Amino acid sequence: MVKHGGSLGEGLGTLAADLARLMAAGLKTVLVHGGGPELSSWSGRLGIRPRWRDGLRVTDEATLELAEMVLAGRVNRRLTTALGAAGLPAVGVAGVDGGLLELAPSAPEEGLGYVARVRGVQPALLETLLAGGFLPVVAPVGRVGGQTYNINADQVAAALAAALGATLVLLTDVPGVTAGGTWRTRLAPEEARALLASGEASGGMRPKLEACLEALARGAARVVIVDGRAPHALLRALGGGLEGVGTELAPAGAAQPVRGGWMEREGTEG
């Protein structure tokens, strides 16, 4: 399970090549994408001031309409087109397709507007696509009844990874997580919770750490936050070469990943 952050832009760099290597090795992979910077750009063009609370975008009616068009339309289509041009069988889907995501709307007192969290996953659509050799590319928008909602992409990726028992790799624009001013290659869950409680983890890192903790608690095989700008970041995340580029969340005493170990796990979800 790979989440491609919107802050990385639309240039895929070596990601397509890394995904091709994983699929050639028999690892089934799902790609979840963000698109926040492009959504903010379109909001600015239309005179809508972007707002955030605890790293989550406040989504009013106008922003929601843009989010559906930008995330499930422009960004998703560009990614699937670019991956297809690289020879990958990418298929674009959104959280509403096939009943994939079951959502819980945010409470009014949270002040987030039309934002929802993932309450459950019905993975049949993804399992069918993966069994057929496709690469699902998931846009973080969904629906409850007739109402569409914006969803944080990190939360979507975490929920899908947990439902599939997969490794979760969050590709972002920073070299992992800092604790006490030091970049960490490994972080215990209790340390991540302390960073959240103290406020040291702020902005967009908050929902990332919260998503990672949720994924681990609900059955994800492994969780890594890695700098997607680094060469072959995805392969390094799966192979354990995280020094200077990423952070793995793992309980104290957990076994270190073996470099190249992703090649040995053929037939498992990425």
- Which numeric CATH code is attached to 2-264? 3.40.1160.10
Please give the average per-residue pLDDT across 105-122, as a whole number.
Answer: 96
Residues 64, 66: Cα–Cα separation, whole Å: 5
Per-residue confidence (pLDDT) for residue 204, from 0 to 100:
82
The rounded Cα 175 to chain-centroid distance in angstroms is: 16
Q: Which SS3 state, helix, strand or coil, does residue 122 take? A: coil
> Over the Cα atoms of the chain, what is R_g?
17
| pLDDT tens profile 201-220 | 888 888 899 999 999 999 88
| pLDDT tens profile 54-110 | 888 999 999 999 999 999 999 999 999 999 999 999 999 999 999 999 999 999 999
| pLDDT tens profile 138-190 | 999 999 989 999 999 999 999 999 999 999 999 988 888 988 888 899 999 99
CA dist 136 to 102, 107, 203, Å? Answer: 18, 30, 28
| pLDDT tens profile 241-266 | 888 889 999 875 565 554 433 333 33
Per-residue confidence (pLDDT) for residue 207, from 0 to 100:
87
Per-residue confidence (pLDDT) for residue 252, from 0 to 100:
57
Q: Do residues 178 and 194 make contact, with C-beta atoms less than 8 angstroms apart?
A: no
Residues 184, 178: Cα–Cα separation, whole Å: 6
Residues 91, 157: Cα–Cα separation, whole Å: 16
Please give the average per-residue pLDDT across 117-128, as a whole number.
Answer: 96
What predicted TM-score, i.e. pTM, was given to this entire model? 0.89
The DSSP element (H or E) to which 216 belongs, if any, is: helix 205-217
Residues 247, 49: Cα–Cα separation, whole Å: 33
| C-alpha closest to that of 148 among 126, 109, 122, 115 | 115
Per-residue confidence (pLDDT) for residue 240, from 0 to 100:
76
Per-residue confidence (pLDDT) for residue 179, from 0 to 100:
85
Q: Residue 267 burial by CB count (10 A; 0-12/13-18/19+): exposed, middle or buried?
A: exposed
Per-residue confidence (pLDDT) for residue 229, from 0 to 100:
87
Q: Is residue 137 predicted with pLDDT exceeding 90?
A: yes
Two tokens, residue 45: 């063009």
Residues in CB range of 218: below 8 A, 6 or more apart: 159, 162, 163
Residues in CB range of 51: below 8 A, 6 or more apart: 57, 58
Q: Is residue 269 predicted with pLDDT exceeding 50?
A: no
- DSSP label of 45: H
Per-residue confidence (pLDDT) for residue 253, from 0 to 100:
53
Per-residue confidence (pLDDT) for residue 261, from 0 to 100:
39
Break the chain into its structural domains and give their ranges: 2-264
Per-residue confidence (pLDDT) for residue 231, from 0 to 100:
87
| pLDDT tens profile 9-24 | 555 768 899 999 999 9
Per-residue confidence (pLDDT) for residue 202, from 0 to 100:
84
Per-residue confidence (pLDDT) for residue 235, from 0 to 100:
92
Per-residue confidence (pLDDT) for residue 87, from 0 to 100:
93
Could you give the angle at the alpha carbon of 224 between the alpha carbons of 39 and 176, nearest 5°?
70
